[in-house]
Structure 1
Amino acid sequence: MANVCAVLATTHHPFYYRETELTPPESRRPSSVVWKQKVESYRETLTAARPDVLVMVGADHFHQLFYDNYPTFLIGKAPKYDTTFYNEERHFGMPRFVLEGDESLSGHLHRGLIERDFDFAVSHELKIDHSITCAIVTSRPEADLPVVPIYTNIFAPPLARPARFHALGRAIREIVEEYPGDQRVAIIGTGHLSLEVGGPRQFQETAPDLDFDRRAVQWLADGDIESILREVTPETLRAAGNATDGFLDLILMLGVAGPNKADYADHLELFQTTEAFFTWYPQGDPR
């Protein structure tokens, strides 16, 4: 059976590539130097796990999914995936990739999730945006591994509850471990901590709610799902920033990892947001 060799949960910040790779060293902010160092350290946690395939959890930022038809959960099942939309390239400098798909693992996951009462949509023509591309840039810039993309709705209310996201993470882990073969599967998901988009708190020097961010970082580092499910509600997420619902995907990833302390945890309080990085090794730390 396949084994989950690593679980990575992180924030996705589309400005990372522009701030670190496209900006000349003499023009970079001091914080960008630290940011790059932290990302490179985090990248090593995936490299050490030696994965064969990546299951990647993110969300579509109204590039393909809109209010006329926005599924709660969706899985891609295609031989290849184009990445990066024009606005992401223009505004953030995001690179373009063509990622190989794993149609067999996608099909296995889709069937298993339906059997567990998760009503997943499926796409055979999915294009991937920065919720997943950011994790490729930071964690596997070679873009050399096949991927299985999973999208969740964190934008178009009503949203699934935190407990449902957590349960989905547990189901993904179980189904991957039932997949026949000896593949080493890394499961990577990205979301947000407190975040404001287009609102009055967007252009602050810090994230809109540092208190929420610091508590959230500790919850994830400790694997403290009880505190998360007790304290995180649609109301508390929205109070922390109008786009903080992206934290739901980090709850999902804690479902994948289980209620365990992270083997690697780091964060950086950055301009307009807090970046965070977590890795769990279900088979033991290979480093």
Structure 2
Amino acid sequence: MAHLSAVLATTHHPFFYKATELTPIEQQSPTDIEWKRKVLAYRETLTAANPDILVMVGSDHFHQFFHDNYPTFLIGKQPRYDATFYNEVREFSMPTYELEGHEELSGFMLQGLLDRGFDFSVSNELKIDHSIICPIITTRPDADLPVVPIYTNIFAPPLPSARRFYDLGRAIRDIIEEFPTDKKIAAIGSGHLSLELGGPRMFGDHGPDPEWDRKAIDWLATGDVEAILEDVTFESMSKAGNATAGFLDLVLMLGIAGPIDASYVDELDLFHTREMYMTWYPEGDPR
């Protein structure tokens, strides 16, 4: 059976690559330099797990799904995936990628999720956006491992509950461990803490709700599922910022990890938002 070697939950900031890789070091701010230092340290938590396959959880930013047809949960099943979209290259100077897929694990996971009552959509023509490419850049920039992409709806209400996201994570964990292989699989998911997109709190001196950020990081780091299920609703997330529902993907990652303490937790205040980097090792810390 497969080994779940690591679970990573992270925010995804599309300007990281431009700020730290395309900008000469002498022009980088102290915050940019600290940002890269933290990301390089975080990258080591995945490297130490030595995975063979990556299960990647993200969300489509209305690049190919819209309010007229936005799947609640979707899995990609194809040999290769193109990334990124034109506007991400134009606005964020993000590189394009072609990622290898793992059709066997995609198909196995799709059937397992359907058997467990999760009515997944499946795509053979999925294109990947920065919700998955940002974690590739920060944790596996060589992009040398096959991926199984899973997309969730965190943008087009009505949304599934925090309980549904957590339960989906538990199901994904079970299916990974049932996959008939001796390979190591790591799960990486990206989402948001409090976040405002296009609203009046978009570019403030800090994220739109620092208090909510503090609680959210603590919930994840300590595996406090009860607090998440009690306090995380669409209304409470919307109050913290109009895009804060991206936190649901981080709840999903906690579901994959299990209600355990994180092995690695770091964060960075980027003034208008708070970045977070978290890793769990379900089979024990390999470092």
TM-score (norm 1): 0.99
* Alignment match, 1:118: 118
146-155 vs 269-278, which deviates more? 269-278
71-80 vs 270-279, which deviates more? 270-279
2: CA distance between counterparts of 1:23 and 1:210?
A: 29
2: CA distance between counterparts of 1:222 and 1:34?
A: 25
2: CA distance between counterparts of 1:139 and 1:84?
A: 17
* Alignment match, 1:18: 18
2: CA distance between counterparts of 1:169 and 1:229?
A: 14
Equivalent residue of 1:75, what SS? strand
* Alignment match, 1:9: 9
* Alignment match, 2:262: 262
* Alignment match, 2:198: 198
* Alignment match, 1:62: 62
Q: Once the 2 structures are TM-superposed, how far is the Cα of residue 256 of structure 1 from its aligned partner?
A: 0.5
2: CA distance between counterparts of 1:259 and 1:216?
A: 14
1: CA distance between counterparts of 2:271 and 2:69?
A: 34
- Cα shift readout 1:57-95 (whole Å, capped 9, x = no counterpart): 000000011111101000000000001101000111111
* Alignment match, 1:229: 229
* Alignment match, 1:277: 277
Aligned residues between the structures: 287
2: CA distance between counterparts of 1:23 and 1:200?
A: 29
* Alignment match, 1:177: 177
1: CA distance between counterparts of 2:40 and 2:88?
A: 22
* Alignment match, 1:158: 158
Q: Once the 2 structures are TM-superposed, how far is the Cα of residue 232 of structure 1 from its aligned partner?
A: 1.0
Unaligned runs of 5+ in 1: none
* Alignment match, 2:41: 41
Q: Once the 2 structures are TM-superposed, how far is the Cα of residue 203 of structure 1 from its aligned partner?
A: 1.1
2: CA distance between counterparts of 1:23 and 1:87?
A: 20
Q: Does 1:101 align with 2:84?
A: no
Q: Once the 2 structures are TM-superposed, how far is the Cα of residue 268 of structure 1 from its aligned partner?
A: 0.8
Q: Once the 2 structures are TM-superposed, how far is the Cα of residue 231 of structure 1 from its aligned partner?
A: 1.1
User: Percent of pairs identical after alignment?
Assistant: 66
Equivalent residue of 1:196, what SS? coil
- Cα shift readout 1:75-130 (whole Å, capped 9, x = no counterpart): 00000000110100011111111100000000000000000010000000100000
Equivalent residue of 1:215, what SS? helix
* Alignment match, 1:220: 220
The CA RMSD over aligned residues, in Å, is: 0.6
Written as runs of structure 1 = structure 2, the 5 A alignment for 1:24-35 is 24-35=24-35
Runs of 4+ aligned structure 1 residues displaced above 2 Å come to: none
2: CA distance between counterparts of 1:232 and 1:17?
A: 31
Q: Once the 2 structures are TM-superposed, how far is the Cα of residue 205 of structure 1 from its aligned partner?
A: 2.1
Equivalent residue of 2:157, what SS? coil
Q: Once the 2 structures are TM-superposed, how far is the Cα of residue 23 of structure 1 from its aligned partner?
A: 1.1
One-letter amino acid of the counterpart of residue 197, structure 2: V
One-letter amino acid of the counterpart of residue 94, structure 1: M
Q: Once the 2 structures are TM-superposed, how far is the Cα of residue 272 of structure 1 from its aligned partner?
A: 1.2
TM-score (norm 2): 0.99
Q: Once the 2 structures are TM-superposed, how far is the Cα of residue 163 of structure 1 from its aligned partner?
A: 0.3
2: CA distance between counterparts of 1:220 and 1:152?
A: 19
Q: Once the 2 structures are TM-superposed, how far is the Cα of residue 191 of structure 1 from its aligned partner?
A: 0.3
Equivalent residue of 1:277, what SS? strand
* Alignment match, 2:186: 186
75-84 vs 270-279, which deviates more? 270-279
- Cα shift readout 1:218-238 (whole Å, capped 9, x = no counterpart): 111111111111111111100
